[in-house]
């Protein structure tokens, strides 16, 4: 059974703080994704990675960076958190970039005050 | 790039009735169209998908139809049950090439 885990379910940070969100998958998937989910806006892709140390910008990369040092782990970094980054963050993994089922993590609800 | 429009944003149906959610896409090269279901407080999960060489696919009470000429695809749920209440997302992409582009979601409520 595929398992995608995220480091926190809920997180509260202050404006200007550096924030790390961690995602780990145990299925040896090549591809990993970070989305943010906001009411009425659906799932928007922030960054994705198709291999270790590789990263590609998604639709809304501004204010975010990522790191993938190991195949199973994909980190999302908010260099200087802002209130407009308050959101639900979902990580996903799949065996391929597209055309393959994406398995999502439980999500991290981040509040920036 | 690809753009996916999803309608309606909310849908209420009586238990036992059918529900239909429609999506349109912009890139004629797209050839993979999955649907994800997200129950309240849970993660999205794939429920059905269709590839461009198929016009219709069915899995028990759910079906998806694809019209490549018109660039739209639809999710059909028959004999709806309260456990069908969730947010449904459609998506489109070019298989094996680009990431999925999701629609904004449809909140389906099945009233008992």
Contact B100 A102 (CB under 8 A): yes
Burial class (CB within 10 angstroms; exposed 0-12, middle 13-18, buried 19+) of A88:
middle
Pick from A58, A98, A105: CB nearest B43: A105
The 3-state secondary structure of chain B reads CCCEEEECCEEEEECCCCEEEEEEECCCCCCEEEEEEECCCCCCEEEEEEECCCCEEEECCEEEEEECCCCEEEEEECCCCHHHCEEEEEEEECCCCCCCEECCCEEEEEEC
Question: Given this model, what pLDDT does residue A48 score?
Answer: 95
Quick: pLDDT tens for A29-61.
999 999 999 998 999 999 999 999 999 999 999
Whether the pLDDT of residue B70 is over 90: the answer is: yes
Q: Which bin fits A29, alpha (ψ -120 to 50), beta or left (φ > 0)?
A: beta
Question: Given this model, what pLDDT does residue A98 score?
Answer: 62
Q: Tell me what the mean pLDDT of segment A99-110 comes to.
A: 92
Q: Tell me what the mean pLDDT of segment A77-101 comes to.
A: 90
Least Cα separation, residue A80 to chain B (angstroms): 27
Residue with tokens 């659906």: A42
Asked if B93 contacts B84 with a C-beta cutoff of 8 angstroms, the reply is: no
Contact A99 B93 (CB under 8 A): yes
Name which of A5, A98, A105 to mutate to probe chain B: the one with the most chain B Cβ atoms within 10 A of its Cβ. A98
Pick from A44, A96, A101: CB nearest B96: A96
CA distance B66 to B34: 11
Mean confidence (pLDDT) of chain A: 94
CB distance from A42 to chain B under 8 Å?
A: yes
Question: Given this model, what pLDDT does residue B53 score?
Answer: 79
Whether the pLDDT of residue B1 is over 70: the answer is: yes
Whether the pLDDT of residue B97 is over 80: the answer is: no
* Residues in B touching A44 (Cβ below 8 Å): 102
Quick: pLDDT tens for B3-35.
999 999 999 999 999 999 999 999 999 999 999
Beta strands in A1-113 (DSSP E): 4-6, 10-13, 19-25, 31-38, 42-49, 56-57, 64-70, 73-78, 87-94, 103-104, 108-112
**Nearest chain B residue (CA) to A91:** B43
Contact B32 A99 (CB under 8 A): yes
């Amino acid at each position: 059974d595929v398992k995608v885990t995220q480091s926190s379910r809920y997180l509260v940070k202050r404006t200007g703080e550096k924030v790390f969100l961690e995602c780990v998958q145990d299925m040896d998937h090549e591809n990993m994704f970070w989305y943010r989910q906001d009411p009425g806006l659906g799932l928007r892709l922030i960054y994705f990675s198709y291999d270790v140390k590789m990263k590609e910008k998604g639709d809304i990369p501004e204010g975010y960076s990522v790191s993938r040092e190991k195949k199973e782990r994909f980190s999302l970094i908010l260099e200087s958190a802002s209130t407009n980054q308050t959101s639900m963050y979902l990580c996903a993994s799949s065996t391929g970039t597209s055309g393959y089922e994406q398995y999502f993590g439980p999500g991290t609800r981040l509040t920036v005050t | 790039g690809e753009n996916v429009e999803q309608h309606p944003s909310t849908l209420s149906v009586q238990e036992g009735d059918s529900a239909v959610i429609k999506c349109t896409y912009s890139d004629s090269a797209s050839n993979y169209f999955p649907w994800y279901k997200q129950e309240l407080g849970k993660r999205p999960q794939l429920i059905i998908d269709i590839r461009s060489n198929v016009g219709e696919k069915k899995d028990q009470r759910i079906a998806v139809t694809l019209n490549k000429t018109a660039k739209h695809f639809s999710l059909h749920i028959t004999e709806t049950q309260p456990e069908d209440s969730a947010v449904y997302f459609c998506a489109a992409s070019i298989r094996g090439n680009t990431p999925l582009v999701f629609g904004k979601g449809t909140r389906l409520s099945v009233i008992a």
